[in-house]
Amino acid sequence: MSVEAGLYTHLADISGSTAAARVYPVWVPQGADYPAITWQRMGSPREHTHDGASRLLIARFRVVSWAETYNAAMNLANIVRLASDGLSGTMGGESIEECLLADEADVPAEASADLDERRVFGRAVEFDIYYVEAAPSV
């Protein structure tokens, strides 16, 4: 598995019946129900030592909670933030060193890709997830 798979499992687990079946990488598919959660990797700077590349990665992930009302988007984002900030040990079955909140912000309301052009609101939280990358197998 990977840190992405662990994040997906973690988000599905913590969102409960609210959005458990609606956790997607990058974007919400057309026709999907809300509330929903999307996630994407924003970057992963590599650490180096005098001995070469370190296997410790700090991956920045943006998790956006989407809903048809502003308050519902904020509430779902708060569930994500409270269950994730400061988490260490395992995340969704994957080993991590730590998950730390880096930033949070509103995502402007936009018309969804659905034909009825309903408006959805988003609240983004960004986390730095520290983990040790598995050595590649040959």
Domain with residue 28: its CATH number is 3.30.2000.10
- Residue 41, classified by CB atoms within 10 Å of its CB into exposed (0-12), middle (13-18) or buried (19+), is middle
- Is there a domain that residue 137 lies in? no
- Is there a domain that residue 138 lies in? no
How many angstroms separate the CA atoms of 64 and 68, rounded?
13
How many angstroms separate the CA atoms of 56 and 79, rounded?
28
How many angstroms separate the CA atoms of 98 and 84, rounded?
9
- Is there a domain that residue 32 lies in? yes
- Is there a domain that residue 45 lies in? yes
b/e for 50-70, b at 16 or more Cβ within 10 A?
eeeeeeebbbbbbbbbbbeee
40-54 confidence digits (pLDDT tens): 999 987 777 788 777
- Is there a domain that residue 33 lies in? yes
CA dihedral 125, 90, 29, 22 (to 10 degrees): -100
How many structural domains are present in the chain?
A: 1
Output the average pLDDT for the chain: 87
- Is there a domain that residue 83 lies in? yes
pLDDT more than 70, % of the chain: 88
